[in-house]
Structure 1
Amino acid sequence: MFVIPLSDTLPAELRPLEPWQAEEFLAHMDRGRENVGQFIGFADRSTDLESARATLQRYADRAAADTGRIFGIWLDGTLVGGVMYANFDAAAGNCEIGVWAEPAGEGLGLISAGVRHLLEHALVTRGMQRADWYSSTLNARSRAVAQRVGMRLDGVLRSYYPYGGVRHDKEVWSILADEWRAGDQRPGR
């Protein structure tokens, strides 16, 4: 297993999130369900130990197939959020990054730091061409992360999907490999 420090000033780290951690993941979902569940569907689907394990197993299966992966963010030993490749298509050279956090993980720069590591891995290590970011136009925190890591708004898909009894407009953000390599958002810079 690997651990990536996310802050010089906080005891925060990025690690793979795996099915054996379902109990910890469920406790995290329970603490942040109201916050996370506003925009992230697996908060509604992970309501007991079995369903939490199933959520993590789906990502373990996707990691084995090289089509997705989920990572947790721990602050002082407590799971407070995460980042993921919601989709990872190495053959096409495209991926989609997603994030979530309970209130204890917000406003500390940890989500942005985690996203930077995923972008570096996808666009530099794996040689992908494009990383996408999709979010509801109502999700200002998500939009701020996309902007913070140097993504550009490609457009808005109006009334694109139903969630929580509301039709949401979906923002489409992206960053290309050349933009990422030329930018100053890369880890260690």
Structure 2
Amino acid sequence: MFVHKITEELSLKLVDLHNANELFELTDANRDHLKKWLPWLDGTTSVEDTRAFIQQNKEGYAANRSLTTVILYNGKIVGTAGFNTINWFSKYVTIGYWLADTYQGKGIMTKTVEALITYAFDELKLNRVEICAAVENTKSRAIPERLGFKLEGVRRSAEWLYDHYVDHAIYGILANEWKTDTKATR
């Protein structure tokens, strides 16, 4: 089982079926907050939907195609983060994440994404990490910007959000850029 301790309070753990109730309750409590930027909320209306999501992600992990973790802050699930896609041929991952509204502004997501990037480069020996966020989602975009990613472009009408399309800002960082940066400058 994948578990990664980031700080005394913060760790990542591979999502598991026993997390279904807590994860669904967190999702449900943050539905309005999350729905601004994530397209899957209407399809997550019960614990069974969350169990299906977890099972799909466990299969992705077993097949070495993805890694979905719950973010634990003082032992409590506060969001999810991970590699939505692992492309072994081209040696890159795409990172996705969300955090409960009441836990934002504490540096949790920046530390989480930093740990995932380090894992991708140092442990998985990948070459590239990519993060996509809706152009108007300034909080989500702040994470790659804070961590030294380069804005590589904008994908127009990249995602359908319930009743409209949103453009995505595409951020990337390469292994050699990450290694030459110092944490103090991030």
TM-score by length of 1: 0.90
Q: Which amino acid aligns with 2:6?
A: L
Distance 2:61 2:13 in 1: 14
Give the structure 1 partner of residue 114 of structure 2. 116
By how many angstroms is 1:75 displaced?
2.0
By how many angstroms is 1:47 displaced?
1.6
Q: Which amino acid aligns with 1:6?
A: I
Q: Which amino acid aligns with 1:4?
A: H
Unaligned 5+ runs, structure 1: none
Give the structure 1 partner of residue 21 of structure 2. 23
Alignment of 1:1-189 (within 5 A): 1=1, 3-7=3-7, 11-185=9-183
Give 3-state SS (helix, strand or coil) of 1:41's partner. coil
Q: Is the 8 A contact 1:82 1:111 kept in 2?
A: no
Deviation track 1:129-163 (CA, whole Å, cap 9, x = no partner) reads: 11111111011011100111111100012223321
Distance 2:158 2:2 in 1: 37
Deviation track 1:4-46 (CA, whole Å, cap 9, x = no partner) reads: 34346xx332222112211111011012111122222343322
Distance 1:42 1:166 in 2: 14
Distance 1:12 1:43 in 2: 26
Deviation track 1:70-101 (CA, whole Å, cap 9, x = no partner) reads: 11112233211121101111222011001101
Q: Is the 8 A contact 2:39 2:162 kept in 1?
A: no
Moved over 6 A (4+): none
TM-score by length of 2: 0.91
By how many angstroms is 1:123 displaced?
1.4
Distance 1:174 1:43 in 2: 27
- The count of corresponding residues between Structure 1 and Structure 2 is 185
Distance 1:19 1:88 in 2: 22
Distance 1:164 1:149 in 2: 30
By how many angstroms is 1:111 displaced?
0.8
